[in-house]
Structure 1
Amino acid sequence: MRRVSTFLTVIIVCLFMVTGAMAAEAGALRITEMAVTTKISRNNPIDSVRRINHRSVPALYCFTRILNPSGTETTIRHIWYRNGQVAAEQELNVKGKKWRTWSKRPIGRDSVGKWRVETLDSEGKLLKAVDFRIN
């Protein structure tokens, strides 16, 4: 009888751990759209850049659409990398269950190279990344 009781206790504890982890994941931020774009119009990106000439536009934007199930105010961080080196970082507020935000990076002749923008949550967890190239 004692073995059955111990076994049931272990099963119950495991179930609580699994459902607790699932609830934590359900409350986690999720990126539903992320794009490097040449312009934001009416709070939306107008295009998605994969390759662009440095003479085409004076700046690029990293647009991020976020689903925040908990609705609690938090932050995300955009980290812009050029050729594997951090070129810029920007912390952005998330103030609702569905939120859109973006960061801006000026570009010029010195911007030529391989780029990557990573979005991290407030704990530093990578949520999503976008790669592109400036010629």
Structure 2
Amino acid sequence: MMKRKTLPFVLALAFLSLTSLFAQTSNYEVTNAVVTTTIANRMPEVQTANNTFASTVERLFYFTKIEQATPPTSILHEWYWQGALLATVELDVNSKAWRTWSSKRIMPHQTGRWTVISKRPDGSTAQTTSFSLEHDARTVELEIQSTPGDAIVYDGSNILGSTGENGLNVVRFWEVGDYTLDITKAGYESGSVRISVDEEPTRVHEMITLKRQE
């Protein structure tokens, strides 16, 4: 009788030990998660505003900094484009504080919203990072002299929302060529500005003053 009782007890202890070990190896934090074009000295070197990248980037890296880990354990990187899972990468975590990254080749047509999810071995989510891929754009800065706060309208569509304190707005063009922007604003006379967008992506500064209507 004693042997029959001892075996289930030993199995229960073994199960509890394995469960405890699994919980320990899974219980870590991802304190930094960054999508970047370059990794240097085990750190992300290049970051972009609003996590937006050109569609010509070819390859992106997902960097994760892990703390409070109990090795040996691992981390999973899941790459999603437009909600569809495209790649899953499992990476080893070999110390309490660990930096690691995965990479994904990007095709020019894969524009739009991307998401990378880092997961612990138990399937729980450690971090979620989203970014966007856009066609290469030519950027033009427009400095519009007017009262801040009122909406500026370009060619009938409100592209940029309210004018900033310094009157600076940014317009993006997806193709080269000559453009004329008709600019209107409530309480002001309309204006226009002609912009030439060259072959190479460029940042051009143009200034226009809108006069108040009498």
Q: What TM-score results when the alignment is normalised by the length of structure 1? A: 0.75
In the alignment, structure 2 segments of 5+ residues that lack a partner are 1-22, 135-214
- Partner SS for 1:34: strand
Which 4+ residue blocks in structure 1 deviate beyond 3 angstroms?
Answer: none
User: Which residue number in structure 2 is paired with residue 15 of structure 1?
Assistant: none
Deviation of 1:63 (Å): 0.2
**Counterpart residue type for residue 47 of structure 2:** S
> Which protein, 1 or 2, shows the higher relative CO under an 8 Å CA cutoff with sep ≥ 6?
1
Deviation of 1:31 (Å): 0.5
Q: Which has more radius of gyration? A: 2
Deviations 1:50-93 (A, max 9, x none): 111111x22000000000343x2101100000001101110010
In the aligned structure 2, how far is the partner of 1:101 from the partner of 1:110? 28
Matched-pair contact (CA < 8 Å) for 2:61–2:103? yes
Alignment of 1:35-114 (within 5 A): 35-49=34-48, 50-55=51-56, 57-70=57-70, 72-114=71-113
- Partner SS for 1:111: coil
Deviation of 1:108 (Å): 2.2
In the aligned structure 1, how far is the partner of 2:27 from the partner of 2:103? 25
Q: What TM-score results when the alignment is normalised by the length of structure 2? A: 0.48
In the aligned structure 2, how far is the partner of 1:129 from the partner of 1:48? 16
Alignment of 1:15-30 (within 5 A): 28-30=27-29
Deviations 1:8-27 (A, max 9, x none): xxxxxxxxxxxxxxxx78x8
In the aligned structure 2, how far is the partner of 1:46 from the partner of 1:78? 20
**Counterpart residue type for residue 64 of structure 2:** T
- Partner SS for 1:110: coil
- Partner SS for 2:109: helix
In the aligned structure 2, how far is the partner of 1:44 from the partner of 1:62? 11
In the aligned structure 2, how far is the partner of 1:120 from the partner of 1:104? 16
In the aligned structure 1, how far is the partner of 2:38 from the partner of 2:78? 19
